[in-house]
Chains A and B, each alone.
Chain A
Amino acid sequence: MPTTDVVVTGLGATTPLGGDVAATWDAMLAGRSGVSALTQEWAAQLPVRIAAQLAVEPSEKIDRVKMRRLDRSEAIALIAAHEAWADAGLVDAGLDTERLAVSIGSGIGGAQTLLAQDDILEASGPRKVSPHTVPMLMPNGPAAWVGLELGAKAGVHSVASACATGAEAISLGLDIIRSGRADVVVAGGTEAVVHQLPIAGFASMRAMSVRNDEPEKASRPWDKARDGFVLGEGAGIVVLERADHAIARGARIYARLAGAGITSDGYDIVQPHPEGLGATRAIAKALADAGVAKTDIVHVNAHATSTPVGDMAEIASLRAAVGDHPVLTGTKSMTGHLLGAAGAVESIATILAIRDGVIPPTINLDDPEDGLLDVAAHKARHLEIPAALNNSFGFGGHNVALIFTRP
């Protein structure tokens, strides 16, 4: 392994499937759905009354006083970052923090804080607005908090590219290490907007599933009966590290982050290009960047949100850029769509699939679309994976492809 390579040495997550990486991964392999009915009072008036909510409330891991100054998206970023940091063996490792950077984004930011504080402003006046409001709602808040708690001094970065955010933040981490600006980057995404305004907004776009009576069946990528995505909340964080740095400290290496490809569609603010041209170019760029042959990509963790148009546009891209041979997973069938965290949590699933030689199932794929590639429907499948591709796309025409390989 060339010493300039970038490797993954730590993983952390809190998702609708579990409060940490191990619980999330176990639930994924078992094909469990994290989607349930919303019981909040505000949900009653909405056309969409289902979501994939966190399996473990952040207040179980962060004390009450600290939670007062954290937006939910910040709290869960901290939980996942601390897990990844510990998993990488970096607690008390004496890392040079001037060589430590952070790259963590969110698609929407501190919307829950914004809405709650606006309610307070309207009801009680400006003096009652929390002085913590701005650091809670600012989109760089999650990255800033993680940087603060880990002492990162090589730069704290916040990507915002909608549903491609988590993957783009990881690709930025790759760039930072390759360019020599840091040895270690804590990278990923976070999102916590299970709230009536974001749901109403997505629902008004007709982008969401309205299968309110069957929450667990609502997220069904590539199934002919799919009717939109299911909103989820969660955070995923990875520790990226220059390979020689990781080797020198004897770190356990999960996988190599071999390359990334980023493009933009230049087509429409929300619709992907119907033939997936932007995505095709992103995948091709990632392959070239990684120096990986398309035939080596045996597994793809697809973006696959369960929207009628997007899922099949991605298939067209994969066919064009990689070919017909890879086996696909749509983990959003279980996690729902974690928006800014999706690409990060899905990167973790991709990395663990490489490590364990098993890919998670795509649940609810009862009646597959015609012309689909090979998908591990319903049940996990054992598969030797030398290299895997993780796709993420976002409103605004963002396309990000990441390639992970065995270390």
Chain B
Amino acid sequence: MTRDDIIAGLAEILEEVAGVNPDDVAEEKSFTDELDVDSLSMVEVVVAAEEKFGVKIPDNEVQNLKTVGDAVSYIESNA
């Protein structure tokens, strides 16, 4: 799976859970500041991402996933 595939998968989740426009989803975007994902919706994103990409994202990792790129890197190296 390429980084672009992961971004596309995350964009799908973000649209479903938080109504984020898929066109806005890019590596440098911050989930909370730029994509407006609130803390509870972020939990939903993480759970959906675990399922979609077959990874475990422990709660203490979530706080390090500030940008879409952070999440892509985590998924890439743990999937």
Other A-B pairs beyond A128-B47, A131-B43, A132-B44, 16, CB < 8 Å: A63-B19, A64-B19, A65-B17, A65-B18, A65-B19, A66-B19, A68-B17, A69-B40, A69-B41, A127-B47, A130-B44, A131-B40, A131-B41, A131-B44, A132-B40, A135-B40
CB contacts under 8 Å to B, within A54-109, are 63-66, 68-69
Q: How many angstroms from the CA of A135 to the CA of B44 in the assembled complex?
A: 15
Closest to A66 in B: B19
With both chains docked as a complex, state the minimum distance between the C-beta of B51 and any C-beta of chain A, in angstroms.
9
With both chains docked as a complex, state the minimum distance between the C-beta of A337 and any C-beta of chain B, in angstroms.
33
Q: Number of B residues contacting the other chain (C-beta, 8 Å)? A: 8
Closest to A135 in B: B40
Q: Which residues of A contact B47 (CB under 8 A)?
A: 127-128
Q: Which residues of B contact A135 (CB under 8 A)?
A: 40
Q: How many angstroms from the CA of A351 to the CA of B22 in the assembled complex?
A: 48
Q: Mark A127-141, 1 if CB is under 8 A from B, else 0.
A: 110111001000000
Q: How many angstroms from the CA of A127 to the CA of B44 in the assembled complex?
A: 10
Can you report 19 residue pairs joining A to B where beta carbons are below 8 Å apart?
A63-B19, A64-B19, A65-B17, A65-B18, A65-B19, A66-B19, A68-B17, A69-B40, A69-B41, A127-B47, A128-B47, A130-B44, A131-B40, A131-B41, A131-B43, A131-B44, A132-B40, A132-B44, A135-B40
Q: How many angstroms from the CA of A119 to the CA of B47 in the assembled complex?
A: 18
Q: Which residues of A contact B17 (CB under 8 A)?
A: 65, 68
Q: Which residues of A contact B41 (CB under 8 A)?
A: 69, 131
A-B pairs with lowest CB-CB distance, top 8: A65-B19, A131-B43, A131-B40, A132-B40, A127-B47, A131-B44, A65-B18, A128-B47
* Dominant secondary structure at the B interface: helix
Closest to B48 in A: A128
Q: Which residues of B contact A63 (CB under 8 A)?
A: 19
Q: How many angstroms from the CA of A66 to the CA of B17 in the assembled complex?
A: 9
Q: How many angstroms from the CA of A69 to the CA of B42 in the assembled complex?
A: 13
Q: What's the count of A-B pairs with C-beta under 8 Å?
A: 19
Q: Which residues of A contact B18 (CB under 8 A)?
A: 65
Name the residue among A68, A128, A135 with the largest chain B CB count within 10 angstroms.
Answer: A68
With both chains docked as a complex, state the minimum distance between the C-beta of A59 and any C-beta of chain B, in angstroms.
14
Closest to A129 in B: B47
With both chains docked as a complex, state the minimum distance between the C-beta of B44 and any C-beta of chain A, in angstroms.
6
Closest to B18 in A: A65
Closest to A65 in B: B19
Q: Mark B28-56, 1 if CB is under 8 A from A, else 0.
A: 00000000000011011001000000000
Closest to B19 in A: A65
Q: How many angstroms from the CA of A255 to the CA of B23 in the assembled complex?
A: 51
Q: Which residues of B contact A127 (CB under 8 A)?
A: 47
Q: Mark B1-31, 1 if CB is under 8 A from A, else 0.
A: 0000000000000000111000000000000
Q: Mark B46-78, 1 if CB is under 8 A from A, else 0.
A: 010000000000000000000000000000000
Q: Which residues of B contact A68 (CB under 8 A)?
A: 17
With both chains docked as a complex, state the minimum distance between the C-beta of A143 and any C-beta of chain B, in angstroms.
19
Q: How many angstroms from the CA of A66 to the CA of B40 in the assembled complex?
A: 12
With both chains docked as a complex, state the minimum distance between the C-beta of B28 and any C-beta of chain A, in angstroms.
23
Q: How many angstroms from the CA of A135 to the CA of B40 in the assembled complex?
A: 10
Q: Mark A35-69, 1 if CB is under 8 A from B, else 0.
A: 00000000000000000000000000001111011
With both chains docked as a complex, state the minimum distance between the C-beta of A45 and any C-beta of chain B, in angstroms.
32
Q: Which residues of B contact A69 (CB under 8 A)?
A: 40-41
With both chains docked as a complex, state the minimum distance between the C-beta of B67 and any C-beta of chain A, in angstroms.
21
Q: Which residues of A contact B44 (CB under 8 A)?
A: 130-132
Q: How many angstroms from the CA of A127 to the CA of B47 in the assembled complex?
A: 7
Q: Which residues of B contact A130 (CB under 8 A)?
A: 44
Closest to B42 in A: A131
Q: Which residues of A contact B19 (CB under 8 A)?
A: 63-66
Closest to A63 in B: B19
Closest to B38 in A: A69
Closest to B40 in A: A131
Q: How many angstroms from the CA of A369 to the CA of B65 in the assembled complex?
A: 69
Q: How many angstroms from the CA of A68 to the CA of B43 in the assembled complex?
A: 13
Q: Which residues of A contact B40 (CB under 8 A)?
A: 69, 131-132, 135
Q: Which residues of B contact A65 (CB under 8 A)?
A: 17-19
With both chains docked as a complex, state the minimum distance between the C-beta of B63 and any C-beta of chain A, in angstroms.
15
With both chains docked as a complex, state the minimum distance between the C-beta of A213 and any C-beta of chain B, in angstroms.
42
With both chains docked as a complex, state the minimum distance between the C-beta of A374 and any C-beta of chain B, in angstroms.
54
With both chains docked as a complex, state the minimum distance between the C-beta of A265 and any C-beta of chain B, in angstroms.
41
Closest to B20 in A: A65
